Amino acid sequence: MNFDEVLDRIDIFPDPFAVCELRGACDLGLGQDTGATLHYILSGQGEIILRGAPSIPVSQGALVLIPAMHRHTLRSEGPSTHPVPECKPAELQLRRLLKSEPGTMVNARITALCAHVRVGLRGASDVIDLIRAPLCENITQGETLGPVLQMLLQELSAPTLGSRAMIRVLLTQCMIDLLRRRFARDGASVGWMNLLKDTSLWASLRAMLDDPGGAHTVESLAELCGMSRSRFAQRFADVFGTGPIELLRDLRIRKAGVLLRESDLPVKAVAHQVGFSSRTAFSRMFERSTGVSPSDFRNGRQGSMPDTI
């Protein structure tokens, strides 16, 4: 498949869940989600601060996709030169996440629409988990998608019949635009899309997505693709940027996060389900990847994060 065929065949499912409002110069911790999160900046300017990575400057029109398990904070730099109408998230069954500094004006804020995102392709529903680093693009008022920003603001400020469905469709447009912009500018930065294009590797990819806790090895994955171990490992690295075991590790950590948040399984049982024979080894790897222990992650404790990276 070529890139255009991938975009034509993938199914994107954005689920809007919150409107974040920061009034004045302040921070709003957004924690670690077990799924990918899309932030669309509706007004204001600031930055998204990430653990262990450079911060991302954002302003009106910025689209930022944060991969699963990435702890991040939204920071407002203060007054907005583009005030927006008062949003009514409750009428859309969205949460309002608000951080306000005492004495700030209502229009002195950064406002963002947040959505969980799933991407499906050829029967696999978790291909979004292949994304390992945040993606950010900016849409200006004069561009083709400029009117989408205005339509989103209209639906948020004056909800009516079908507004939530309309917002979902508009966010799908934004997501497709983000992907094609990134690929057009630097195809090497979207290795996960290159991996989806390469049908010779799909059998191994599907096996890891479907069962990250399985007893996968480079040899077993190569066999699924009908390749020798060395040829498979080299091709996978050439296409994706890292080896298959590195990807498998990330998929296991993401699956572990889901089990920790959505089940009562003991940590040892979670470790076994995601392919670790030792709870100690699992806990060490989980904390190295997320910055918190499995128990703290389950209880929603995020640990400390520096103000700047």
Confidence of residue 140 (pLDDT cuts 50, 70, 90): low
Helix (H) or strand (E) holding 76: strand 72-76
Chain centroid to Cα 96, Å, comes to 19
Q: Which runs of consecutive H residues, i.e. helices, occur in the chain?
A: 3-9, 146-157, 163-185, 191-197, 202-210, 218-224, 229-240, 244-262, 267-273, 279-290, 294-298
Confidence of residue 53 (pLDDT cuts 50, 70, 90): confident
Averaged pLDDT for residues 70-91: 82
Residues in the chain: 309
Please tell me the predicted confidence (pLDDT) of residue 305: 46
282: left (phi over 0), alpha (psi -120 to 50) or beta: alpha
pLDDT, averaged across the chain? 87
Confidence of residue 9 (pLDDT cuts 50, 70, 90): confident
- pLDDT value at 273 more than 50: yes
Confidence of residue 272 (pLDDT cuts 50, 70, 90): very high
Taking the C-alpha atoms of residue 38 and residue 47, their distance in angstroms, rounded to an integer, is: 14
- pTM value is 0.88
Taking the C-alpha atoms of residue 21 and residue 12, their distance in angstroms, rounded to an integer, is: 26
Confidence of residue 15 (pLDDT cuts 50, 70, 90): very high
Q: Largest Cα–Cα distance in the chain?
A: 66
Tell me if 20 sits within 8 A of 97, measured CB to CB.
yes
Cross-strand partners of 22: 99, 110
Q: CB under 8 Å to 145, separation ≥6 — which residues?
A: 139, 173, 174, 177
Tell me the residue type at 220.
S
Please tell me the predicted confidence (pLDDT) of residue 17: 95
Instruction: Report the number of secondary-structure helices (H) and strands (E) in the chain.
Output: 11, 10
Q: How many CB atoms lie within 10 A of CB 12?
A: 19
What's the helix, strand, coil split of the chain in %, to 5?
A: 45, 25, 35
Vertex 148, ends 146 and 149: CA angle to 5°? 75
Q: CB under 8 Å to 242, separation ≥6 — which residues?
A: none
User: Which residue reads 């205005």 in tokens?
Assistant: 150
Confidence of residue 20 (pLDDT cuts 50, 70, 90): very high
Tokens representing 62?
Answer: 């910025």
